[in-house]
Amino acid sequence: MKTLNLKPLIIALVAVVLLAGCKGDDGAVGPAGTNGTNGTNGTSGTNGTNGTNGTNGTDGTNGVGFDDAIKKGNVLVYLDGTRPDGVEFKDTLDFRFSSSSLDYSLIEKYEVASDSDNWTYAKRYLGFSAAPTPYYYEAESDFAEAESEIWFDSPHVGDTSKYTSLHLKTSVEFPEDHKYFKMDDYFSFGIDYDSESDEMYSYWNNGNPMDSTFTAYSYTGSTGQVKYKVSFTIPAGYNSTGYDLKVAFITDVTVYENMGSEECCAFSEGGRTTGRKAVKNARTAQKVAKAVMMDMK
C-alpha cells in the first residue's frame, strides 16, 4: 500500500499564506489627469407668481389755509368757441379758491321805501396759495369775479330787474399741443324796467351779448348761500379769442354782509366797479324820487 506524501503540499500552502500577508510600500503619486468636459446647463426654472399690491398710503393733510380757501364756494366757467389760431375748443374752469378777506365774498342789501335789491360780489381763484396775508393773490393770479344784482321792485309781475357781470382773467391751456392763450375780459349785461316805455329792456357793456340768460337765482339768508346761472355769446370783436365765444358760468358761493364798516379797497379798478356804482347810484336816485312822490300823494 502506497503512502500519500502531504509535506510538499503543506509547505506550498504556508508559503502562499505568508506571501499574501506581506504588504509592500506605496509607490509615488502619479501625475494629475486632465479635467473632464463641463456638463450641459440645466433648464431655467419657471418664474414665480407676482406678489399682491400693497395697500395705498393714507392721504396727506391739506396745506395750511386750504380748507378755509375752498369752503366759501366756487364760480364754474364754461367756454365754447375758437382759439386765436382758428382751432375750435371747449373748456371748463373751476375757480374754487377764495381769499381770506371777506370783501371778496360780499352781499349788500338796499332798502328804499318798499323797494329792495341784493348785490353780490364773489372773487374766486383758479389756484391756491397759502400765503398768510389777506390779499395774498397777486396780479398774476388767474381769477373770476362774478357780480350780480337783483331788484325786487319791478312793476310787472314775473319780471325782475337784473344785472350781472363776469371779469375773467386766466390762461386757457391746451396740454395736447402745448399751447395756451390768455384772457383778461369783462362781460356784463342787465335787464331793467324803463318807466317811459313801461317795458323791460336789456343793456350791456361789450357789444351786445347774444342769447343772454340769467336764471335760477337764489339767496338763503340763514346760510349766506347765493346761486345763479348766466350764459351769453360774446361777439368776435369783444373777447380775447377774436371769434364769437359762448360763455356760461354758475355761481355757488357763500357771501357775507358788511355791518357798516368802511368800504374797503378789495374791488378792482376800472369798468366793473365804476359801472356797477353808476348803476347803483342811478337806481337809488330813482327809488328815492319814487318814495318822495309817494309821500306827496
What's the mean pLDDT when you consider all of the chain? 75
Rounded Cα gap, residues 13 and 56, in angstroms: 93
Q: Is the per-residue pLDDT at 184 higher than 50?
A: yes
- Residue 135: pLDDT band (50, 70, 90) is very low
Chain centre distance of CA 128: 10
pLDDT at 133: 46
The pLDDT value recorded for residue 275 is 45
pLDDT tier at 23, thresholds 50, 70, 90: low
- Is residue 272 scored above 50 in pLDDT? no
Average pLDDT value for residue range 199-222: 75
The pLDDT of residue 246: 94
Grid-cell match 372773487, residue found: 123
Instruction: Give residue for cell 373748456.
Output: 91
Helix, strand, or coil here: 259?
coil
Q: Judge whether residue 260 has pLDDT over 80.
A: no
In whole angstroms, what separates CA 28 from the centre of its chain? 91
pLDDT band at 296 (very low <50, low <70, confident <90, very high): very low
Distance CA 202, CA 191 (A): 4
What are the helix (H) ranges across 47-107? 66-70
pTM (2 d.p.)? 0.66
pLDDT at 132 over 60: no
State whether residue 66 is helix, strand or coil: helix
* pLDDT higher than threshold 90 for residue 223: yes
Out of 28-32, 139-143, 262-266, which region has the weakest mean confidence (pLDDT)?
A: 262-266
Q: What does the pLDDT average to over 170-178?
A: 93
Q: Where are the alpha helices (DSSP H) in the chain?
A: 7-21, 66-70, 271-296
* CA quadruple 267, 272, 274, 276: dihedral sign: negative
| pLDDT tens for each residue of 230-251 | 998 888 988 999 999 999 999 9
166-169: long-range pairs with CB below 8 Å, 24+:
166/77, 166/230, 166/247, 166/249, 167/143, 167/268, 167/272, 168/77, 168/144, 168/247, 169/142, 169/143, 169/144
Whether residue 147 has pLDDT greater than 60: yes
What pLDDT score does 165 carry?
A: 87
Query: Does pLDDT of 90 surpass 90?
Result: yes
Q: Give me Rg for the CA atoms of the chain.
A: 46
